[in-house]
Amino acid sequence: MNIAVFSTYSYDEEFLTQHNTGHNLTFFKLPLNLQTANLVQGFTAVCVFVNDTVNAEVLSAIKQHGVRLIVLRCAGFNNVDIKAADALGIPVLRVPAYSPEAVAEHTVALMLTLNRKTHKAYNRVREGNFSLERLLGFNLHNRKVGIIGTGNIGKAVCNILNGFGCNIYAYDVYPDAALEALGVTYAPLEDVLRDADVVSLHCPLMEGTRHLINAETLKLFKPGAMLINTSRGGLINTPDVIEALKDRQLGYLGLDVYEQEGSLFFQDLSEDVIQDDLIMRLISFPNVLITSHQGFFTREALEQIATTTFANVDAFAAQQELVNRVVV
């Protein structure tokens, strides 16, 4: 099968080539959008990532060029108009789970770095500054941590934090019996947010969860609490979070995702003037730590993404059951 792979970098080519099951791959560094849709001529399938735009217009354009399959090399699918794809008869297949521990471990790394300020200590010592002033942190042990969403990644975060001795509260439409047995307490969203020392987001981005963290829900936070988001940027209303940081209602913010990341993340913009005023404001806070959608970036995760992606393609080619098809 001829597959056009969009938004690719060296690591995408390495792992997809290594685990290819016999398909013809053409790699494009450009993202898929309406301006680049003409590149899919002659391809049966397109392989896309989180910041590719696969809306109704793009779907119609690539359908006219002969595309019959969309494979996502990620779990999230909020950038794809699934209803429009179904109407056009184009199945959308995803990678529902790829080393949830990778994202979970990065989540906890953000917590620990913000708390113990190891990034600041590293820079200080390199400059010969061995002072401990303004590096004071807090014990995670016995702290209340609120986990929003206990799917594969949220569950992995709970398991790690349980080892720290945290008091874990969780909100999810479907409570996990194994986590309850571990000691995790499920409660309504308001109760999970209220008085939590750390809140970590692990739910999908849907209409009901967009801007879940906003001016009203931030009022429930314990003054000085930490907020971590390694899920989807749209879960947070960025201007509201900036106000909460300014008012010190929010004490720490760790982001691996950002609502407008499509024009920023995965690129080297060090020589450019960044036009996004919101992210530049966030970067200016000393208690904010931002990584560029790095949580998934481990060898194990990339191997799983590649093998599942090709298993999806092979199932479509063999007219087998599409177990990873996105259905809404």
**For residue 269, what pLDDT is reported?**
95
| 232 flagged as catalytic | yes
pLDDT above 90 for 76: no
pLDDT tens by residue, 180-191: 999 999 999 999
Distance, CA of 17 to chain centre = 24
CA distance 260 to 194: 28
Are 47 and 20 within 8 A, CB to CB? no
pLDDT above 90 for 89: yes
Are 133 and 109 within 8 A, CB to CB? no
Query: pLDDT tier at 230 (50, 70, 90 boundaries)?
Result: very high
Helix, strand and coil percent figures for the chain, each rounded to 5:
40, 15, 45
Which of 255, 263, 264 is CA-nearest to residue 236?
255
Instruction: State whether residue 124 is helix, strand or coil.
Output: helix
Are 328 and 206 within 8 A, CB to CB? no
The pLDDT of 255-275, averaged and rounded, is 94
Query: pLDDT tier at 78 (50, 70, 90 boundaries)?
Result: confident
User: In sequence order, which residues have a C-beta less than 8 Å from that of residue 270 and are 6 or more positions away?
Assistant: none
Catalytic residue (choose from 232, 243, 300, 303): 232
pLDDT above 90 for 58: yes
Catalytic residue (choose from 261, 271, 299, 303): 261
CA distance 294 to 107: 10
Residue in this structure with the two tokens 């390199």, named with its chain if needed: 126
User: Around Cβ 243, how many Cβ atoms within 10 Å?
Assistant: 14
User: Around Cβ 176, how many Cβ atoms within 10 Å?
Assistant: 17
Output the CA–CA distances (angstroms, integers) from residue 103 to 152, 155, 239, 240, 252, in the order listed.
Answer: 10, 11, 25, 25, 19
> What integer best gives the mean pLDDT of the chain?
96
The pLDDT of 34-41, averaged and rounded, is 96
DSSP 8-state assignment for residue 80:
B
CA distance 13 to 28: 10
Q: Does the fold of domain 100-290 match that of domain 2-98+299-317?
A: yes
Whole-number percent of the chain with pLDDT over 90: 95
Q: What is the CA radius of gyration of the chain?
A: 21
| 261 flagged as catalytic | yes
Which of 268, 299, 289, 303 is CA-nearest to residue 107?
289
pLDDT tens by residue, 125-153: 999 999 999 999 999 999 999 999 999 99
Domain boundaries, the chain: 2-98+299-317, 100-290
**For residue 241, what pLDDT is reported?**
98
**For residue 299, what pLDDT is reported?**
96
pLDDT tens by residue, 95-112: 988 889 999 999 999 999
Which of 223, 177, 171 is CA-nearest to residue 201?
171
The Cβ-side half-sphere exposure at 185, using a 13 Å CA radius, reads: 14
pLDDT tens by residue, 151-167: 999 999 999 999 999 99
**CATH class of domain segment(s) 2-98+299-317:** alpha beta
**CATH class of domain segment(s) 100-290:** alpha beta
Higher-pLDDT residue of 214 and 51 is 214
Are 267 and 31 within 8 A, CB to CB? no
For 200-232, b/e burial (b = at least 16 CB within 10 A) is bbbbebeeebebbbbeebbebbbeebbbbbbbb
Distance, CA of 150 to chain centre = 14
Are 75 and 34 within 8 A, CB to CB? no
